[in-house]
Chains A and B, each alone.
Chain A
Amino acid sequence: DIQMTQSPSSVSASVGDRVTITCRASQNIGAWVAWYQQEPGKAPKLLIYAASNLQSGVPSRFSGLRSGTDFTLTITSLQPEDFATYYCQRTNSYPLTFGGGTKVEI
């Protein structure tokens, strides 16, 4: 099975900071990665698909990048509502699998 290794598991940041989260796939999966944001007690929300495409309605401070089997989610100028847990997910084949999550906290 293709594994998605996400890091860090948590990051402390302040409003206005730039935060970068990384996922590494154990094999080549092309650009088939999505990113989700999950606020406490809520369902995840799709942010990015196909590695770098912003889902409709998502603020432009979120961006995604692919370099080989490494995928990054960057949040520029962190806002109070961005303190949440973020998950990567490979979308290239089933069963779909998610990274372990990154909690962005103050």
Chain B
Amino acid sequence: QVQLQESGPGLVKPSETLSLTCTVSGDSITNYYWTWIRQPPGKGLEWIGYIYYSGSTKYNPSLQSRVTISVDTSKNQFSLNLKSVTAADTAVYYCARDNSFGMIDHWGQGTLVTVSS
């Protein structure tokens, strides 16, 4: 059974960098695309980007200038860095598996990140 678990700080100060890690179990990270999606409180879903195990990435143009997704195949983990955050980046951040056809078939439980001083 594929499981994903997000980890990282729940509070980030404005202008700083949000950093989260997703640990994957039950599947090799060398399969599929590994994705970050976020959801501001009470709002809808926003796709942030994906990474393939080779390091190939694709990002949402709306966030591209601030986002970096990286992968550590030795730990079966991938990570999200979002720099220069503002209150608008406050959201539940989900890591997830994209089965390579754009379908998100496994999700982490999500982690709330609040941007506040």
Binding site for B on A (CB under 8 A): 32, 34, 36, 42-46, 49, 55, 87, 89-101
Contacts and interface: CB of A to CB of B under 8 A. Distances in A.
Contacts of A89: 45, 102, 104
A101 to B, nearest CB: 5
Contacts, number: 58
Given A44-B104, A55-B105, A96 B47 contact: yes
Interface residues of B, number: 23
Greatest chain B CB density within 10 A among A43, A89, A90, A98 is at: A43
Greatest chain B CB density within 10 A among A45, A49, A96 is at: A96
Nearest to B58: A94
Contacts of A44: 45, 94, 104, 107
Contacts of A36: 104
Nearest to A85: B44
Given A43-B94, A94-B58, A95-B61, A100 B44 contact: yes
